[in-house]
Amino acid sequence: MRNQIPRNPTSGRVSDELDESDYEEPPVTKRRRQTKREKEIAKFKEKKRLGTKDDEDDNDDDNDNYTALSKSTWTSQGSSSRPVPGSFQSCAQCEKQFTVTKYTVAASLGRGFLCHQCAKASGADPFKKPSMPKKRKAPAEKRNIQSFEEKRFPSLVSICIKIVTKHIEDVEALGDIGAVNMEAIAKALAKNRCLTPDNAHLFFSVENVNLVLYDCTKLTTPVLESLSMLNPNLNSLRLDFCGHLDTQTFMTMSNHLPHLKRIELLGPFLVRSEAWIHFFTSHPQLEGFLVTQCSRFDLECVRCLFNECKQLEDLRLREMKIDDDWLLEIAGTNQNFDRDMNEGISNKIDVVRKLKCLDLSSPASTCSEGALIKLLRKLGPRLEALNLSGHDSITDEFIEDGLGKWMGRLERLCLSACPEITDRAVSRLFNSWAGTDDITADEPVINPDSEDDIDDAMDGVNGPVRSWNRVPRNRALQDRLRLPSLLDRDEAPCMNRPLVSIELGRNSSLGTRSLLSIIRHSGSHLEILDMNGWKDVTVEALQEIGKHALQLKKLDVGWCRALDDFILASWIGIGITVEGSDAKVDGGCLKLTEIKVWGCNRVTGKFSKRGGVNIHGIESLVAV
């Protein structure tokens, strides 16, 4: 035939040409014969797998070179044509017959399988587990949002801390460090927990009058003893997280700090009652005693405090085991006060009535409401700051017959986490307090039954429309429950000047009425307002904050559902377009520096706001 391709003269048989490397491209006719031969071999191996083996084919030496399957047919990954373990197979290298197991290794060129000896000689590990495919990494986000980027460069404060701590032995080389800078360094060290016995003496000096250490976690007992010896002229001392302060060390402080007038301790767990009594006895000039978390401070210590320290003005007993006996002792009364009034108790009353700031928040067990009312009856007229947060027993009765009757000079009020108080009671309290800046004895008395008297007293006080807070008096409910009320008492409600700080957070029953009454009474002077958890407050009430509470510096409106970007912009925004005109104005709260909006899902922060305001809790700006 003319089109027949001549054979390669160097090859003897067609079978020799089939043994050539797979990398050479065979002729077209050879490719057809190769494909046909592979089909025959596949059929033969299938019969062999089923146990039907032809003896003539087994004895044919000429076909031994073609018994191995191609690489595409038998692979080490487990093909469907792989021989069954237990069957016999010829080694692709030594051509010896061996028994196939699950550990049998395929030949490197893909032509059959290797026996155990050949597989071991080739360096392959038959017992090696197949490698798992690597998981593809998720593609990184291409956009780089500025507010999500982490600052990798160290701040100036951290650099200064490292320099100061590195050269702490050469304190004199730092020169004269002012009191302001010293306090800033103390805060920075406390933030990073870097205050240690090695660098604590940086803050010790004979000339110190005030000393504040915000984190004493790493300060041991000898360092605390040296503190009292190296600062003998201290008038005020504050130690936070002072868990290493024990009884003996505190007695040493009492002996070496004779001029101390104010002490503030956080976490003095190890100080026993005898050390407290010794301290009160040796410091009759004490004016401020503020202690948090001290389980060993008992009733005897409270009694000694007021018997010895007759000039006490600021008292804090926070997160302690306060009960009714403590309250009666603080108030200067006892069970037989009405029928037994001796000289000792009378002197004690005079001492207690000098208190101006009282903090009894977060007690281990709540006190009775009657004892709290008796406490305000003795201390209320002089108190300027009151914190009774966490007392579950406080209800509307305390609001009306305690705060409403006996407070006159209060500037800071904190009643957070008191779930029993209602919106109506708080609203009526601030209405009864409605007064002017200067309270004199010649001012007319407000009649709570008359809305006209309340409106007249509100003249000159900026606030929303008075009619919004005209709440009807439910006398039937008061009579049915036999609860004392402002309307049932003989004396008129006590008047109180506008408050500077009001913290009523985590009281979910409070809402619009309370907020409007607060703004009417204290809006012009209010600097701190905590209304966290007032879920039912309306949009109109929130807008009044930006119109009348112009002195606000800190505001917590977390979990107020009605808060959105429009209301927030009316407080701190810039360039706000006035509806119906082309004029642009700025937010009303120009002094606001901190806002907490946790849980306010409508706030996105997508508006122009002035600088210097820290907004905490915007979900879209929180990096996960």
Q: What integer pLDDT is reported at residue 165 of this predicted model? A: 64
Strands (E), 392-454: 412-414
The tokens for 348 are 């004690």
**Neighbour-count burial of 594, counting CB atoms closer than 10 A to its CB (0-12 exposed, 13-18 middle, 19+ buried):** middle
Q: What are phi and psi of 41, to 5 degrees?
A: -65, -40
Q: What integer pLDDT is reported at residue 459 of this predicted model? A: 44
In a domain, 259, yes or no: no
In a domain, 281, yes or no: no
In a domain, 141, yes or no: no
* Average pLDDT value for residue range 444-449: 38
What are the tens digits of pLDDT across the range 594-618? 999 999 999 988 888 888 899 999 8
CATH number of the domain residue 589 falls in: 3.80.10
Identify whether the C-beta of residue 104 lies closer than 8 Å to the C-beta of residue 113: yes
Q: Number of folded domains in the chain?
A: 2
Looking at 70, 93, 121, the residue that finishes a domain is 121
Q: What integer pLDDT is reported at residue 342 of this predicted model? A: 45
Q: Give the pLDDT band of residue 523 (cuts 50, 70, 90).
A: very high
Looking at 104, 121, 138, the residue that finishes a domain is 121
Q: What integer pLDDT is reported at residue 612 of this predicted model? A: 86
Structural domain of residue 113, as residue ranges?
Answer: 14-121
* Average pLDDT value for residue range 470-477: 36
Q: Give the pLDDT band of residue 412 (cuts 50, 70, 90).
A: very high
Helix axes 512-522, 539-548, angle to 10 degrees: 10
* Closest C-alpha to 456, from 435, 473, 440, 439: 435
Select the highest-mean-pLDDT range: 200-214, 417-431, 462-476.
Answer: 417-431
In a domain, 364, yes or no: no
Q: Give the pLDDT band of residue 103 (cuts 50, 70, 90).
A: confident
Strands (E), 360-477: 385-387, 412-414
Kindly state the helix (H) or strand (E) to which residue 290 belongs, with its residue range: strand 288-292
Q: What integer pLDDT is reported at residue 170 of this predicted model? A: 66
Q: What is the mean pLDDT of the chain?
A: 76
Select the highest-mean-pLDDT range: 99-113, 302-316, 332-346, 451-465.
Answer: 302-316
What are the tens digits of pLDDT across the range 272-295? 999 999 999 999 999 999 999 999
* Average pLDDT value for residue range 239-250: 96
What are the tens digits of pLDDT across the range 128-163? 766 666 666 665 554 444 443 444 577 776 777 677
Looking at 73, 103, 121, the residue that finishes a domain is 121
In a domain, 408, yes or no: no
* Average pLDDT value for residue range 434-460: 42
In a domain, 268, yes or no: no
Cα first-last separation, the chain: 79
Q: Give the pLDDT band of residue 315 (cuts 50, 70, 90).
A: very high
More confident residue, 294 or 472: 294
In a domain, 348, yes or no: no
Q: Give the pLDDT band of residue 95 (cuts 50, 70, 90).
A: confident
Identify whether the C-beta of residue 350 lies closer than 8 Å to the C-beta of residue 307: no
Residue 39 predicted with pLDDT over 90: no
Q: Give the pLDDT band of residue 227 (cuts 50, 70, 90).
A: very high
Classify 508 as helix, strand or coil. Answer: coil
In a domain, 518, yes or no: yes
